């Protein structure tokens, strides 16, 4: 099973990188950018095919290690 994890800064947390990327894209002539938020994307390949058990496990991974819950949110998707 392939698990896809997206980690992003929480909505109201300042994202300095996103701000700079947005400015730079605008300078390069890409108009109409409202905002840019940068995050992390992680792929994990798991044994077995129990999606429910995997979701529980992946959530734990995010909470224990992958995401910094003080400032970040995460989402888990399993294919």
Partner 1 sequence: MKSHVIVFPGSNCDRDVAVAIEKISGSAPEMIWHKNTSIEHSDLIIVPGGFSYGDYLRCGAIASTSPIMHEVVQKAKAGVPVIGICNGFQILIETSLLDGALIRNNSLSFICRDIHIKAENSTSIFTKNNIIAKMPIAHNEGNYFASTETLKKIKDHDQIAFRYCDEHGVVNEQANPNGSMENIAGILNDTKNVLGLMPHPERAIEINLGGDDGKHIFESVLN
Partner 2 sequence: MTSTWIHKTEQSLVESHGLKHDEFDNIVKGLGREPNLTELGIFSAMWNEHCSYKSSKFWLKKLPTTGERVVQGPGENAGVIDIDDGDVAVFKMESHNHPSYIEPYQGAATGVGGILRDIFTMGARPVANLNALRFGEPSHPKTKHLLAGVVEGIGGYGNCIGIPTVGGEVNFHPSYNGNILVNAMTVGIAKKDKIFYSAAAGIGNPVVYVGSKTGRDGIHGATMASAEFDDDSEDKKPTVQVGDPFTEKLLLEACLELMKEEAIIAIQDMGAAGLTSSSIEMASKGNVGLEIDLTKVPMRASNMTAYELMLSESQERMLMVIDPAKEDMARKIFKKWDLEFEVIGRVTDTKNLVLNMHGKEEACIPINILVEDAPEYQRDYTISEPTKDYTIDPNSLNAETIVDDLIKMISHPNLCSRRWIWEQYDHMVMADTIVRPGSDAAVVRVHGTNKAIAMSTDCSPTYCKHNSFEGGKHAVVETWRNLIASGALPIAITDCMNFGNPEKPEIMGQFVECIRGMTEACSALNYPVVSGNVSLYNETNGEGIYPTPAIGGVGLIKNIEKTKTIAFKKIDSAIYLIGKTEGHLGNSHFLSIVQNQEIGSTPIINLDEELKNGKFILELVNKDLILSSHDVGEGGLLVAATEMSMSSGIGVSINTERKNHAYYFGEDQGRYLVEVDAADEQKFKQVAEDHKITIELIGRTIDAYLMIQDIGKVSVKDLKSESEKWFPNFTR
Q: Which is nearer to partner 1, 29 or 48 (CB)?
A: 29
Q: Which of 1, 7, 21, 61 binds partner 1 (CB under 8 A)?
A: 21
Phi/psi at 46 (5° precision):
-115, 150
For residue 64, state whether it binds partner 2 (rule: CB under 8 A). no
Q: Which of 13, 20, 53, 56 binds partner 1 (CB under 8 A)?
A: 20
Rounded to whole angstroms, what are the CA distances from 12 to 8, 19, 66, 70, 74?
Answer: 11, 13, 20, 12, 15
- Listing DSSP states for 29-43 in one string gives T---------EEEEE
Q: Which of 40, 56, 68, 77 binds partner 2 (CB under 8 A)?
A: 68
Q: How far is the CB of 17 from partner 1 (least distance, A)?
A: 4
- For partner 2, the binding residues (CB under 8 A) are 9-16, 19-20, 23, 68, 70-71
């Amino acid at each position: 099973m392939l698990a896809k994890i997206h980690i992003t800064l929480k909505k109201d947390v300042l994202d300095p990188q996103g701000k700079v990327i947005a400015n730079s894209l605008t300078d390069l002539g890409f108009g109409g950018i409202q905002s840019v938020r940068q995050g992390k994307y992680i792929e994990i390949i798991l044994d077995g095919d129990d999606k429910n058990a995997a979701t529980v496990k992946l959530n734990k991974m995010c909470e224990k290690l992958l995401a910094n819950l003080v400032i970040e949110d995460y989402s888990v998707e399993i294919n």
